[in-house]
Amino acid sequence: MNFLVRANQSEARGHIRLAGSKSISNRVLIIRALSGTDFEIEGLASAADTVTLQKLLETKEEVYDVGPAGTTFRFLTAYLALQPGRQILTGSERMLLRPIGPLVDALNSLGAKISYEKKSGYPPLVIDAPGELKINSAIDIPADISSQFISALLMIGPCLPGGLTVNLVGDLVSRPYLEMTLRSMAYFGIDTSFEDNCIKIPEAQYQPRPITIEADWSAASYHYASAALAPHADIVLEGLFEDSWQGDAVCASVFEKIGVASTWKEGRLHLTKAEERGQMIEHDYLECPDIAQTVAAVCAGLGMPALFTGLDTLRIKETDRIAALQTELGKIGVAFAKLPSRFTKTDQETFMVDGQPAWQDPPLFATYHDHRMAMALAPLAWINPVKIEDIDVVDKSYPEFWRDLVELGLGVEMVK
């Protein structure tokens, strides 16, 4: 079924209590499992990926099926590599197309015993109990691969004899996610170092202690979108931390250029219309790729030119997000085009949102089984009604999304 989304009022207004960060929640769950001791986690994410990870960490079954949860798959690959017995780690049809080879190679070089059930380099994985783990291990790994591969290795580092040294080779992608991992580890007693492109982790025991998970900044970005696109805005977001561990917290400064003012008061974030907005926005999303779709959709809806770099990882997410944006924004008459290198200031791929949006009949936006496509495009309904297919896809990271849109003043109606 699809949703028809339309504005019921001219002001995006409401008080939203955001769920905990999926990224932090998943790290904390792995660390709790590695510590061997239960401890209280307050504000754990309600995202399907987190629910799946929590369930699988408690299972005694031989087959671990993560569904479409990429972070869960990668973190479990490293975690299960240290466990006794044999496990099969698998996932959805799309998950079986997402490469896992660099992580498997790194783990096997440490003494793990992981093989491929079908195609080399891809899930499903057969994970046997490790042999004799290497002492004082040091590994080289490409710095431009998914940060989730690297984070998976970092979190098991303290459990390896003599610890682990990770040398990141080349240009680093998504450094904030690695820093989030190291800050999570530090909270539980692991003293690491990250100098140049070398991360050193000592052999140590995680120290269990209660933790409160901060709310999810990528979820907050969709309400920034409502504030930007609605004629008027008065939105209060609760649960976010001003001193955040999340790279996506940069969305506050990005949306300031788009015309949204952020004000902290008594631990809550208040979003209102800024007095003015820029004529054009240019940003590198290398360290915050999860907000790129949202910003692209907002700029398209406002008819605001925007330049995007740092989209390297978007092609290997739940879908090819670049191709998906090009197709879906085209439905409202806006291009998301790659600029020829002669027109750019950098040797990075550069994409531009360009064109004035126009639509009368609600366009049906495809989601490509990608939660972020649905959530990035739905706020366009503040301009004119839109239709969103595959509405349950948001459960992957933000199950309360549709409820919260209604809280702000959008109407949501089931249609064929």
Tell me the per-residue pLDDT of 201-218, one tens digit each, with 9 for 90 and over. Answer: 999 999 999 999 999 999
Q: What pLDDT was estimated at residue 347?
A: 73
Distance, in Å, from the CA atom of 244 to the CA atom of 228, rounded to the nearest integer, reads 22
Instruction: Please give the model's pTM, rounded to 2 decimal places.
Output: 0.86
pLDDT in tens, 61-95: 999 999 989 899 999 999 999 999 999 999 999 89
Q: What is the mean pLDDT of residues 149-172?
A: 96
CATH superfamily of 22-212: Enolpyruvate transferase domain (3.65.10.10)
Bridge-based pairing of strands 86-90 and 63-65 is parallel
**Nearest 5°: phi and psi at 383?**
-90, -55
pLDDT classification of 343: cutoffs 50, 70, 90: low
Q: What pLDDT was estimated at residue 302?
A: 97
pLDDT classification of 158: cutoffs 50, 70, 90: very high
- Which residues participate in catalysis according to the annotation? 290
Distance, in Å, from the CA atom of 224 to the CA atom of 229, rounded to the nearest integer, reads 9
Residue percentage of the chain with pLDDT more than 90: 84
pLDDT classification of 277: cutoffs 50, 70, 90: confident
Say if residues 48 and 72 touch (Cβ distance below 8 Å).
no
Domain boundaries 2-20+214-415, corresponding CATH code: 3.65.10.10
Q: What is the mean pLDDT of residues 14-34?
A: 96
Report CA 409 to chain centroid distance, whole Å.
Answer: 26
**Ramachandran sector of residue 165 (left: φ over 0; alpha: ψ -120 to 50; beta: rest):** beta
Q: In this model, does residue 279 exceed pLDDT 80?
A: yes
CA torsion through residues 135, 136, 140, 145, sign: positive
Q: What pLDDT was estimated at residue 58?
A: 94
Q: What is the mean pLDDT of residues 159-186?
A: 93
Say if residues 188 and 31 touch (Cβ distance below 8 Å).
yes
- The residue written with tokens 């609760």 in the block is 238
Q: What is the mean pLDDT of residues 297-325?
A: 90
pLDDT classification of 174: cutoffs 50, 70, 90: confident
Q: In this model, does residue 393 exceed pLDDT 80?
A: yes
Collapsing DSSP to helix, strand or coil, 87 comes out as strand
Q: Count CA atoms closer than 13 A to 308's CA, side-chain side.
A: 29
Collapsing DSSP to helix, strand or coil, 67 comes out as coil
Name which residue leads in pLDDT, 349 or 335.
335
Domain with CATH 3.65.10.10 in the chain: 2-20+214-415, 22-212
